[in-house]
Structure formats: structure tokens, C-alpha cells
Amino acid sequence: MQPQDTAIPNLVSDIRRAVSAALQEDVGDGDITAQLIPADRAARARVITREDCTVCGRAWVEEVFRQLDPQLQLVWHCEDGDRVAADSVLFELQGNARTILTGERTALNFLQTLSGTATTAAHYATRVADVSAARAAGTSIRILDTRKTIPGLRSAQKYAVLCGGCHNHRIGLYDAFLIKENHIAAAGGIDRAIAQARSIKPGALVEVEVESLDELQQALDSGADVIMLDEFSDADTQAALSLAKGRAKIEISGSVDSERLQQLAGLDVDYISSGSLTKHLRAIDLSLRIDL
């Protein structure tokens, strides 16, 4: 997968912005340690993963070294979305030794973080696929991310989720409505909130989070497109599915970790959303080896 192949708005420009900010944060007015190396010294380097992972972040790595030195050459041995084994070489670099060492940490920070997100997403996607394979009718459940992302890396983590085989919820506050408890109270009720949403941005998806079967019925009667069941019991979830069938799509959210996910995947819901895809990530252990 490539960033330009997704529907995530402004992803390519976000990559340039994020890399520029990260380099300024790390390099400042110059890498004084790199100045220990002769300015014309050439080097080769390899980046290796120390653990199994799903790779994500190629464009960010390439942008780091493009901004530092466009003459540096990178050769990749994998694509975003590939699942690779521990000790695999992800890519090689050749060029100025100072540039390689100056860009090393910023490049690996992006790669380890986004690969961590993609690896978590791949784990979730696999668990749902396992349930699907065990069911004769299969399942069309989509695992969705949330807005619980690292500040400044929203589009990057959304892209990593796609690389791992899961799906994006709304990108931000601007592209879809998600009407929650406080919105409902401030707007004067579920019906009023949905009616106002339709007038503010006709055609935009309108989703309502509900906390009871009574609120579910109100959302259905008011024409919600998607209804999110927050912390519903399994019994109430089954009742909600019967009520909503053919009238609205159902999303389950709240305390969805890896174990709970497999239980929920056995239900006939449309979506399961989990903040864990992006907020509970563990960066992948990567290493750069340089040959002068």
C-alpha cells in the first residue's frame, strides 16, 4: 500500500509536515555528534527488525532522508502492509555517513511507531478472520479505529491501521457526525440532534451512541445511519440487533481489547471500534547497522 492510494485527506502533505517538525525537534540547528565524521565520508547501512511485525512507514522514512539529503539512496526489501519475520532486513541505505546517522533516529521513530500500530491492527484483523472462518455464513464485521491517536500523527496512524487490515472510522470532527451523551443533552434529545445534523451537513454519515435499548429505539425512529452500543451486555446487544436489523448499522464500542474482540466477532454486528488499535501501541524494536 502507498499513502496516495488511500482516501485519507491530506496524507501526503501531512507526511512532509510531520517529518519537518520531527527533524527540527531532533536536529535543531545541527547534529554536533555527526560533525565528528569527515563531511565526505560515505557509508552503507541496513535497518533490521528484531521482532515479527507488519511494516508501515516507508514514505515517512523516505521523506526524512529526502529532506536531509536527496542524494541518499534507499533500497527497500518490503512494502507497507507486509508481514515480516524477526531479523529481516527492511531496507538499506547508501550515501553520506553524516546524513545516515543524523536521520537514523527520526526515521526509525516513524517506522517503529507506525509498524507498531499496523502490527496491532493485523492482530485484530486476524482474530476476526479466525472467527469468520469458523462460521458457516462468514462475517462482514469491520474493525474500526478511533480518534485516540498520537497528536500530530492522526493521518499516519489511520494509514497504519489500513496497512494492518483494519478500517478507519471518521478521520476527525469534520467528516461525519458522532452524537454522544453530551451532544444529546445539549441539543435537547436524540431526535433533535439527528435533525440538526441533517440540516448542518446533508449527506454526511450520522452516528449516535446509545446507552440503553430505549435510546436505541429513539435513534432508529429518528433515522440514524449507524448506532453505537456503548458497554451493552451480550443479551442487550442481541436485542439491539433484532430491533435494528435493516434499519441501521450497529457498531460495538467500549472496553474492546483483543480477547473481548473475539467474543464480539461471533455476533452479527457491522462494526467493532477499538481505541486500542492506536493508543495502546508498542513500538517495534528496530536496529540500524552502519558500515563505513
230 is catalytic: yes
* Annotated catalytic residue within 148, 198, 249, 279: 148
Instruction: Count CB-CB contacts under 10 A for residue 98.
Output: 21
* Annotated catalytic residue within 17, 180, 198, 249: 180
Query: What are the CA-CA distances from residue 195 to residues 72, 145, 203, 242 (Å)?
Result: 55, 26, 12, 24
Query: Starting from the edge strand earliest in sequence, which strands make up the sheet with 271-273, in order?
Result: 142-144, 271-273, 249-253, 226-230, 206-210, 177-179
63 is catalytic: no
Query: What are the CA-CA distances from residue 208 to residues 55, 162, 233 (Å)?
Result: 34, 24, 18
215 is catalytic: no
180 is catalytic: yes
201 is catalytic: no
> Is the CA virtual torsion 124, 129, 130, 135 positive or negative?
positive
* Annotated catalytic residue within 46, 66, 105, 260: 105
Q: CA 260 from chain center: how many Å? A: 19
Q: Judge whether 77 and 89 are in contact, CB under 8 Å.
A: yes
* Annotated catalytic residue within 14, 63, 209, 215: 209
* Annotated catalytic residue within 62, 230, 236, 285: 230
- Return the active site residues: 105, 148, 180, 209, 230
